[in-house]
Amino acid sequence: MSAAAGPTRGDARWWHPVAGLDELIGPGPWPLRLLGQDLVLWRSLGGLQAFDDRCPHRGARLSLGRVVDDQLQCAYHGWCFDSAGACRSVPALPGFVPPTGHAVAAWQVATAHGLIWLARDPLQPAPPACEGVPQRRVVCGPYTVETSAPRVVENFLDTSHFAFVHEGWLGDAGHPEVPAYAVDHTADGRPLIPHYRAWQPRASASSDQGAWVDYRYEVLSPYTALLQKQPEGGGVADAYTAFACPLDEDRTRVWFLQYTSDTATPDAELQAFQDSIFGQDRPVLESQRPQRLPISGGELHSAADRLSAAYRRWLQLQVVGFGVC
């Protein structure tokens, strides 16, 4: 699919993170980018609302407008839209009752994990849940990266780059080997690795020595994934989510949420650790060509890439069309 073709209906039906709750102060409106489309988010008395950022009258961006009397008013000729997207008034024609066809397309909005999520005609009732993760949550990012969301998620699922990209941190140059691991699937078919054992020189911000770490990986949705890690013999348990927002086919905004049993290390230190890790990933990610993830051939897999291969197969089965080729 080309960038100009826009998202398929299927891609918009998954929940996508678009903004942090703490980014949204006041009524808005705020312009957003999702799946190659411009959207507008605003706050009505009933909560956050999201529309296509295009006025049905003359195509002006609604995010240039303002929130008046619990409606979003277009900046160009002042048409007003209620929280369902219905046009409620046309100021040039006082007394005119706009027909239902004068509406703007609305998206569904949800809040989860401290982020705002959008979907249109969603496949799932809610954004992905993260079962069994430690309670403390630290938001790392968002990072805007010049590649597709599936490239970002596949990198998050990829273990054989640790010894090279994260040498001395998540991997050891003396031990690049990937132990054999099994890929399993959730009841609804999403790929997961129940156990993956890795030697890590510095597995987390609070670790000061190497440890064998037990990983669990799970694909949550086309552009989101969860990993849980626990050093063998105890110690700090961590879980990370990659929540990727596909801005465009080749541009992605990603949050890494850390859930941790570490109650001592300050947020800023955990965030700085993640900044360092992602700073190591970024140049490689932005160098990959094509930027979209090839899911129907064109790249070589080794036996160490089983999870990546399973992720690509699953994207194919879901008929994901955005950010892949």
**Three-class HEC string of the chain:** CCHHHCCCHHHHCCCEEEEEHHHCCCCCCEEEEECCEEEEEEEECCEEEEEECCCCCCCCCHHHCEEECCEEECCCCCCEECCCCCEEECCCCCCCCCCHHHCCCEEEEEEECCEEEEECCCCCCCCCCCCCCCCEEEEEEEEEECCCHHHHHHHHHCCCCHHHHCECCCECCCCCCCCCCCCEECCCCCEEEEEEEEEECCCCCCCCCCEEEEEEEEEEECCEEEEEEEECCCCCCEEEEEEEEEEECCEEEEEEEEEECCCCCCHHHHHHHHHHHHHHHHHHHHHCCCCCECCCCCCCCCHHHHHHHHHHHHHHHCCCCCCEC
- Between 99 and 297, CB nearer to ligand FES: 99
Contact mark string toward ligand FES, 33..72, x via CB under 6 A? ----------------------x-xx-x------------
**58 interacts with, out of Fe ion, ligand FES, none, CB within 5 to 8 A per kind:** ligand FES
Type of residue at 178: V
Type of residue at 321: G
Contact 137, 259 (CB under 8 A): yes
Q: Does 322 bind ligand FES (CB under 6 A)?
A: no
Contact mark string toward ligand FES, 70..89, x via CB under 6 A? ----x-xxxx----------
**67 interacts with, out of ligand FES, Fe ion, none, CB within 5 to 8 A per kind:** none
- Between 53 and 281, CB nearer to Fe ion: 281
Q: Does 91 bind ligand FES (CB under 6 A)?
A: no
Least distance CB 84 / ligand FES (angstroms)? 17
- Between 54 and 190, CB nearer to ligand FES: 54
Least distance CB 308 / Fe ion (angstroms)? 13
Least distance CB 241 / Fe ion (angstroms)? 15
Least distance CB 277 / Fe ion (angstroms)? 6
Least distance CB 55 / ligand FES (angstroms)? 3
**281 interacts with, out of Fe ion, ligand FES, none, CB within 5 to 8 A per kind:** Fe ion
**Cα(first)–Cα(last) distance of the chain, in Å?**
7
Mark the segment that binds Fe ion (CB under 5 A) among 80-88, 129-137, 242-250, 277-285: 277-285
Q: How many residues bind ligand FES (CB under 6 A)?
A: 9
Least distance CB 26 / ligand FES (angstroms)? 22
**74 interacts with, out of ligand FES, Fe ion, none, CB within 5 to 8 A per kind:** ligand FES
Least distance CB 19 / ligand FES (angstroms)? 24
Tokens 């990993």 sit on residue: 227
Q: Does 281 bind Fe ion (CB under 5 A)?
A: yes
Nearest to 299 by CA among 222, 308, 307, 164: 308
Distance CA 235, CA 168 (A): 19
Tokens 């890795």 sit on residue: 198
Least distance CB 92 / ligand FES (angstroms)? 9
- Between 91 and 174, CB nearer to ligand FES: 91
Positions that interact with ligand FES (CB under 6 A): 55, 57-58, 60, 74, 76-79
Positions that interact with Fe ion (CB under 5 A): 281
